[in-house]
Every structure is written in C-alpha cells, then in structure tokens.
C-alpha cells in the first residue's frame, strides 16, 4: 500500500495542450467523462478504482504510436486496456494519464491455415478468434476464464484450462507488433516456428504487462480441431485424494487436454449459479482430445487411476452441449462464488508448484482459510500445478482484508519454499510486486529494472507495475 501511495503522489494534472491535441485528432474517441474514466480505472481485482485522466479509443497501430509520442513528449503515463478482466491491478492508473483502449482494434489480420498460424489485432478476443476459425478445422487453445483480448493475454502471459496439453501464451506466441515508449513500431518475430536470430524480443514483451511497450498485433499458433473430444467428471471424499489422482495421471504421461479441480465450496457455488446438481464434494473435471481410439484409451486409464484413489463415480459427457455446460460452469466459478456473499469483493490469487508438491500446498492453504473463517473456494488447473484461491471479503472490514492478505502471503511463501512461483497466470500487476522480489531476489529484480529504464526511460508505460522505478 505504501508503494501505491508513493506512486499516486507523483500524479500530475493532464496538460491542457495534450487534451486539446487528442480532442482534435480523435474527436469522440477521446473522452474525459467521469463514467468513461471510471470504467477504465477498475479491473477484477479488489483494489479501489484508480482513474486515468482521459481515455482514447485507438483503431490502428499507427494511432497508438501517435498517442504514445504525444504522451512521451509531455511525460504523461500511458496504460493499455483490453477487456479489463485482469485480477492484480494491471490496468489501474496509479499516476493518472491516458488509457489507450484497444477494443476497437479487433480485426483478423491474416489466417494461414496451411501454416497453422493467425495474426490478429490486439483487441481480438479468444472467443472471437475461435469463432472466425470455426470452419477451418483449426482452433486456438489458450482459454483464461474470461473472454480476454489476445493483446492482454500476451501482455500477462495468460494460460488457462488447456495449458496442461497446449502450453501458455509464452509457448503459443510467435511474433508481436509493439509500440515502444518513444512511439516507434517494432516487429519482434516472424511466422517461422523457430529462430536463432538475435535476442528474443517476443518473450521479453510477453508477460511485460504493458510496462515496456504496447502490444498492438499478435501472431499465434493454431491447432487442428481434435477428431474426438470427451469429458468426464468424478467426485472424491477429500481434496488430497482428488489431487493425488491428478498427480499420478500426469506422472503416468497420460496426455489429458484439461484437468480442473474444484473444492466443495466451488462446486456448491456453480451448482447455485448454473443450476447444476453435482455432488458438493471435491471434484475433478477432465477433457480428452485425440482420435476416437486414443480418447477412449486415455479416459479408461484415468478412470482406473481415479478409482484407485476413491473416486465417487466417473460420469461421461460426450455430447458437445453437455461438455459446454460443464465448462461454462467452470469458467463462471469466479462470478458464482461472488453471489454467495452479496456486496462482497474478491481477493483472488494464484500460485504454481511442482506437481509432486501440489496436494501439500493446496491442503495447507485450505487449512489456513478455514482457520481464519474466510468464505473461499480453491479451484485449480491442477494438471500443471497451478491453483487459485478466491476469498470473499467485506471491503469495509480491514481486519477481514488483513486476514485474506495474510492467507495469500503465506500461500505464496509456501509455494516459493516448494520451488514454485508466486503466480502461475494472474501476473504481478500491483498486488504481487513484493512477492516477485522474494521469488527472484534483488539482483534479478535489478536486471528487470535495468530493462525497464532502458526501454522506458521516462517511466510512462503503465508505471508502478511489476518493478518499482
């Protein structure tokens, strides 16, 4: 919180000359209206809104570059905005400035079916991309719960339920178009599947959260739609049994496409929200991709493992509508839990540990939540050791907020002690800056800070995030 107060103390009034220029250049696509600023000054984190001084809707890379040049000239902060679904305060305007809304940059630049690649503008969302690919026999597998934009997904190094088989945005981004802090436009790669040409700038900007440059186009890998897909759910008498079944499945090398864990609280929430009738016990949700024979073989192997760990039933969902219903409910879990306590806000956090330590980490975190009498759920992309904790707090109860933050801090410290990471997919933003230091050490953070200073010497690119200036 001291960091936030310090950053906000650096806020300066927006220069009148800049307002005039932006209004002249962008007309109604530039707004200083309070409602517009408030909409762009909040995300899905528990932080109070932090409003920019103005919002510009950009329609092209060249427009983004022009806005950045004008802001750089005046030393005004610039914050890129996609769909506003980040969870760690990534898009909050600590020092005011100009938010560049990229949602109107939603064109499909090119789809190369024969090469299994697509290039899209940053505002294209994952659902939009897959809708466009519907008749090509291809799909894009990265699916964070929200319908996030591809630019935002690259900026936060997103992943999701399919990561256990298909990887994250890091593995699936081939090239970027980026506007730098001085308004230059650079290309960071090509559509070739590999390269040994120079520094890997693509990986530098993937996960940089808008602090080094603004991503305006993304080239991603595509995959053939599986010949066969099936899903299955099974419940367990304990969290440990469910997670240990997953650990054995992964260690056996069974190529599951998705394996999601929901604790009893999470199942209860989605039952109420999506009108399901699942047993309110720890639950695993599997999905298998491949040939008809391969899918059957994978599912039978997993069924045998879960039975050994005491699974209470193994129910199939082979029809597309049944699978969609289950996965929609899973993706709604965040909002489903919020309904369990009207008026509450969520502190949502995540970590990732080596798969062998997953059960231990989840059980210790659950015990901590119970000890502090929090309303919570634990949900995980457990196939790759990643889980999320969502804690509902009264935003006016400082003691309750402190309890939830204490659980978060101990969870991260526990994960780091297991050679894990403070965040598997949420990113750093504001919330996890101190944990990043704990994870990497001061010397590594100094290297990150050196990169920030070199690429953004005026500290205008989403200032106050990831590393302290």
The CATH number linked to 402 is: 3.30.70.2740
Q: What is the pLDDT of residue 2?
A: 66
Whether residues 96 and 113 fall in one domain: no
Task: Report if residue 443 sits inside a domain.
Answer: no
Q: What is the pLDDT of residue 67?
A: 98
CATH number where 270 lies: 3.30.70.2190
Whether residues 380 and 431 fall in one domain: yes
Q: What is the pLDDT of residue 351?
A: 96
Whether residues 134 and 239 fall in one domain: no
> Side by side, which strands form the sheet with 283-290?
312-317, 228-235, 283-290, 258-262, 375-381, 386-393, 345-352
d(C-alpha 78, C-alpha 62), whole Å:
15
Q: What is the pLDDT of residue 332?
A: 86
Residue-averaged pLDDT of the chain = 94
Domain boundary among 43, 69, 104: 104
Task: Report if residue 214 sits inside a domain.
Answer: yes
Task: Tell me the pLDDT tens digit for each residue of 314-333.
Answer: 888 778 888 888 888 888 88
Token readout for 454 is: 């070199």
Percent of the chain with pLDDT over 70: 100
Domain boundary among 334, 362, 391: 334
Q: What is the pLDDT of residue 310?
A: 95
Percent of the chain with pLDDT over 90: 84
Whether residues 322 and 369 fall in one domain: no
Q: What is the pLDDT of residue 303?
A: 94
User: What one-character DSSP code corresponds to residue 317?
Assistant: E
Confidence bin at 364 (pLDDT 50/70/90): very high
Torsion of Cα atoms, 398 then 404 then 408 then 413, to 10°? 80
- Residue 164's closest CA among 267, 257, 234, 293? 257
Instruction: Count CB neighbours of 271 within 10 A.
Output: 16
Q: Cβ-count burial of 137 within 10 angstroms (0-12 exposed, 13-18 middle, 19+ buried)?
A: exposed
Task: Report if residue 427 sits inside a domain.
Answer: yes
d(C-alpha 390, C-alpha 338), whole Å:
9
Q: Which of 52 and 338 is assigned the larger pLDDT?
A: 52
- Determine the structural domain holding residue 181 and report its residue range: 108-224
Task: Report if residue 449 sits inside a domain.
Answer: no
Q: What is the pLDDT of residue 466?
A: 96
Task: Tell me the pLDDT tens digit for each residue of 371-419.
Answer: 999 999 999 889 999 999 999 999 999 999 999 999 999 999 999 999 9
1 has a pLDDT exceeding 70? no
Beta bridge pairs of residue 288: 230
Confidence bin at 149 (pLDDT 50/70/90): very high
Confidence bin at 40 (pLDDT 50/70/90): very high
Whether residues 313 and 386 fall in one domain: no
The count of residues in the chain is 469
Whether residues 99 and 133 fall in one domain: no
Q: What is the pLDDT of residue 455?
A: 98
39 has a pLDDT exceeding 70? yes
Query: Measured in whole angstroms, how far is the alpha carbon of residue 446 from the centre of its chain?
Result: 25
d(C-alpha 286, C-alpha 168), whole Å:
18
Whether residues 260 and 188 fall in one domain: no
269 has a pLDDT exceeding 90? yes
Task: Report if residue 295 sits inside a domain.
Answer: yes
Q: What is the pLDDT of residue 257?
A: 94
d(C-alpha 355, C-alpha 251), whole Å:
9
Whether residues 281 and 380 fall in one domain: no
Q: What is the pLDDT of residue 91?
A: 95
d(C-alpha 150, C-alpha 107), whole Å:
11
Q: What is the pLDDT of residue 326?
A: 84
One DSSP character per residue, 425-447 reads: SS--TTTTHHHHHHHH-HHHHHH
Task: Report if residue 261 sits inside a domain.
Answer: yes
Q: What is the pLDDT of residue 46?
A: 83
- Report, as an integer, the average pLDDT of 185-201: 95
CA terminus-to-terminus distance, the chain = 16
- Residue 191's closest CA among 219, 227, 230, 155? 219
Query: Is the CB of residue 336 less than 8 Å from the CB of residue 400?
Result: no
d(C-alpha 322, C-alpha 367), whole Å:
34
Specify the range with the lowest mean pLDDT, choosing from 41-50, 135-144, 455-464: 41-50
Confidence bin at 93 (pLDDT 50/70/90): very high
CATH number where 113 lies: 3.30.465.10
- Report, as an integer, the average pLDDT of 275-289: 93
Task: Tell me the pLDDT tens digit for each residue of 211-258.
Answer: 999 999 999 999 999 999 989 999 999 999 999 999 999 999 999 999
Whether residues 208 and 122 fall in one domain: yes
d(C-alpha 397, C-alpha 416), whole Å:
29
If one counts the domains in the chain, the total is: 4
User: What one-character DSSP code corresponds to residue 457?
Assistant: T
Task: Report if residue 465 sits inside a domain.
Answer: no
Confidence bin at 10 (pLDDT 50/70/90): confident
280 has a pLDDT exceeding 80? yes
CATH number where 47 lies: 3.30.43.10
- Report, as an integer, the average pLDDT of 279-287: 94
Token readout for 184 is: 């230059």
Whether residues 41 and 115 fall in one domain: no
Whether residues 252 and 320 fall in one domain: yes
Whether residues 172 and 129 fall in one domain: yes
- Residue 128's closest CA among 101, 150, 161? 150
Task: Report if residue 157 sits inside a domain.
Answer: yes
Domain boundary among 72, 104, 136: 104
């Amino acid at each position: 919180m001291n960091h936030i107060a310090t950053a906000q103390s650096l806020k300066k009034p927006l220069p009148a000359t800049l307002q005039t220029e932006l209004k002249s250049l962008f007309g109604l696509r530039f707004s200083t209206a309070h409602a517009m600023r408030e909409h762009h000054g909040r995300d899905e984190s528990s932080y109070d809104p932090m409003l920019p001084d103005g919002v510009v809707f950009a329609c092209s890379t060249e427009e983004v570059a022009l806005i950045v040049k004008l802001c750089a000239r005046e030393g005004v902060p610039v914050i890129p905005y996609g769909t506003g679904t980040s969870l760690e305060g990534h898009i909050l305007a600590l020092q005011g400035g100009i938010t560049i809304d990229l949602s109107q940059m939603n064109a499909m630049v090119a789809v190369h079916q024969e090469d299994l690649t697509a290039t899209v503008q940053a505002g294209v969302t994952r659902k939009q991309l897959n809708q466009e690919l519907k008749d090509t026999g291809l799909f894009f597998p990265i699916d964070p719960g929200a319908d996030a934009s591809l630019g935002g997904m690259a900026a936060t190094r997103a992943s999701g339920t399919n990561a256990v088989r298909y990887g994250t945005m890091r593995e699936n981004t081939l090239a970027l178009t980026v506007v730098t802090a001085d308004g230059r436009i650079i290309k960071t790669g090509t559509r070739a599947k590999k390269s040994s040409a120079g520094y890997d700038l693509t990986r530098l900007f993937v996960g940089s959260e808008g602090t080094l440059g603004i991503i305006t186009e993304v080239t991603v890998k595509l995959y053939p739609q599986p010949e066969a897909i099936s899903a299955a759910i099974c419940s367990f008498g304990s969290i440990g049994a469910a997670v240990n079944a997953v650990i054995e499945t992964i260690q056996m090398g069974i190529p599951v496409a998705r394996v999601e864990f929901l604790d009893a609280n999470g199942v209860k929430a989605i039952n109420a929200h999506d009108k399901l009738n699942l047993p309110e016990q720890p639950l695993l949700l599997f999905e298998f991709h491949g040939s008809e024979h391969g899918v059957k073989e994978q599912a039978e192997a997993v069924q045998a493992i879960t039975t050994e760990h005491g699974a209470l039933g193994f129910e199939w969902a082979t029809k597309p509508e049944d699978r969609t219903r289950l996965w929609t409910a899973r993706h709604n879990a965040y909002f489903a839990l919020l309904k369990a306590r009207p008026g509450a806000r969520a502190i949502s956090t995540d970590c990732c540990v080596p798969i062998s330590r997953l059960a231990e980490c989840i059980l210790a975190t659950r015990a901590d939540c119970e000890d502090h009498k929090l309303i919570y759920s634990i949900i995980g992309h457990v196939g790759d050791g990643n889980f999320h904790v969502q804690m509902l707090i009264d935003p006016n109860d400082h003691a309750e907020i402190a309890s939830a933050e204490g659980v978060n801090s101990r969870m991260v410290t526990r994960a780091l002690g297991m050679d894990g990471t403070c965040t598997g997919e949420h990113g750093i933003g504001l919330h996890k800056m101190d944990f990043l230091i704990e994870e990497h050490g001061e010397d590594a953070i100094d290297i990150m800070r050196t990169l920030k200073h070199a690429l953004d010497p005026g500290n205008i690119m989403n200032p106050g995030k990831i590393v302290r200036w």
